Amino acid sequence: MSGTHRIVGMEADALRRELGAHLRAHRALVSPEQVGLPGGGRRRAPGLRREEVAALAGVSLAWYTWLEQGRVAVSRQVVDAVCRALRMPSAAHRHALALAGFRPAEPAGESRAVAPATRALIDGWPDTAALVLDERFDILAWNAAHRRLWGDPAAVPADRRNLLLLLAAARDRMPAADAEPLLRGLFEHFRAATGHAPGHPRTAGITRLLAAERPDVAPWWQCRAVGDFPPTTATVTGTGRLTFTLLRPVAEPDRYLLAQTPDRPVRPAG
C-alpha cells in the first residue's frame, strides 16, 4: 500500500490489542445522547454499548467485538468509520490509524543527527530557550538560552535526557497549577506520537522512569488519553512566565522543536 507501513507478526498482534484498548477507552467516554441515541435506562458501564458503536459504524456486532479484542485486521475505511462513530478528536483518530498500521513508512534506522539548519535556527533565538526533540521527546540538541534556564542537558545521564523527565523532576521550578497541565499535555502528545510502537523499549523505559519520578500522579502514566499539545504557559521560578510551544521543522518532519518563549526577553546578567 503506497505511503503506508503495514506491520506483520508479533508486533501486529500487539498493535491490534492496543487498538482494541484505545477503542474501548473512547467508547466509555461517549454518551448515547452525543450520538443521537436514547439515553434512558440503566447501563452496566459508562458510554456506548458495543452494538451501538457497531451500528453507527456500519459493521456487525461480532466483527466489532473481535476488533476490540484485537483479533482482526482492519481497513482504513473501517477505522475512520469507527472513529467517527466514537466522536474521536483528531489526535485520537490519528492514533487509531497509527495503531492499525496506517502511518508513513519509517526509515530503516533511527538517527540522532540534527540538521545544521535546525541547529542554526534555535541558536538564532538568544532569548527563547529551545530544544530539538525526537518523537519520544528525547533531547537531541539545545541552545544557549536553554542552558541558562535549565542547565546543560549534556550533564544529564543519557537515559534521563528527555523533556518529560526533565519537567517531572522540576517540581520546585514551577507551581503545581502550571506544572501539572504542562506535563500531562506533553505526555498525552507523547502517547499519540509513540503509540504505533507500544513495545519499543525506549518508550516503555521513559514511562517507567516517569512513574518512579512522579508516583503521585500514577494514573497519568496508565491513562490511554492522547492529544495534540497546545501552546501552554507556565511560571518558572527565577524567570517568569514562559509559553511552551511544539513546532515541526518542515525539513525534518521526524523532529520537534520546543520553544519556551518568555513574556519579556530574558537576557544573561551583565
- Packed helices 76-85 and 61-68: angle between N→C axes, nearest 10 degrees: 90
Structural Rg of the chain based on CA atoms: 21
Residue, of 212 and 7, whose pLDDT is higher: 212
Q: What would the grid cell of residue 26 be?
A: 473512547
Q: Is the pLDDT of residue 231 over 80?
A: yes
- 34 within 8 A of 53, measured Cβ to Cβ: no
Transcribe 64-113 into DSSP letters.
HHHHHTT-S---HHHHHHHHHHTT--HHHHHHHHHHTT-SPPPPSS----
Predicted confidence (pLDDT) per residue in 13-64, tens digit: 888 999 999 999 999 999 988 988 886 666 777 889 999 999 999 999 999 9
| Ranges of CATH 1.10.260.40 domains, the chain | 9-99
Residue 111 pLDDT: 66
The pLDDT score that the predictor gives to residue 56 is 94
Taking 80 as the threshold, does the pLDDT of residue 196 lie above it?
no
Predicted local distance difference test score (pLDDT) of residue 265? 53
Residues contacting residue 231 through CB under 8 Å, at least 6 positions apart: 243, 244, 245
Q: Higher-confidence residue: 197 or 185?
A: 185
Considering the domain delimited by 116-262, tell me its CATH architecture: 2-Layer Sandwich (3.30)
* pLDDT tens-place string over residues 103-159: 654 444 466 789 999 999 999 999 999 999 999 999 999 999 999 999 999 999 999
Please compute the mean of the pLDDT values over residues 207-230 and round it to a whole number. Answer: 91
pLDDT above 90 (res 211)? yes
pLDDT at 161: 97
> Domain 9-99 belongs to what architecture?
Orthogonal Bundle (1.10)
Checking if the pLDDT of 165 tops 90, the result is: yes
pLDDT more than 70, % of the chain:
88
Residue whose cell numbers read 546578567 = 269
Where does CATH 3.30.450.180 sit in the chain? 116-262
What pLDDT score was predicted for residue 2?
38
- Across the chain, mean pLDDT equals 88
Q: Angle of helix 90-99 relative to helix 9-27, nearest 10 degrees? A: 150
Specify the pLDDT at position 29. Answer: 92
pLDDT at 269: 45
pLDDT at 222 over 90: no
Between the two ends of the chain, the Cα-to-Cα distance in Å is 59
For residues 163 and 232, what is the distance between their CA atoms, to the nearest angstrom?
15
CA 193 centroid distance within chain:
5
**Which of 114, 113, 148, 136 has the alpha carbon at shortest distance from 260?**
148
User: How wide is the angle at C-alpha 220 spanned by C-alphas 215 and 221, nearest 5°?
Assistant: 75
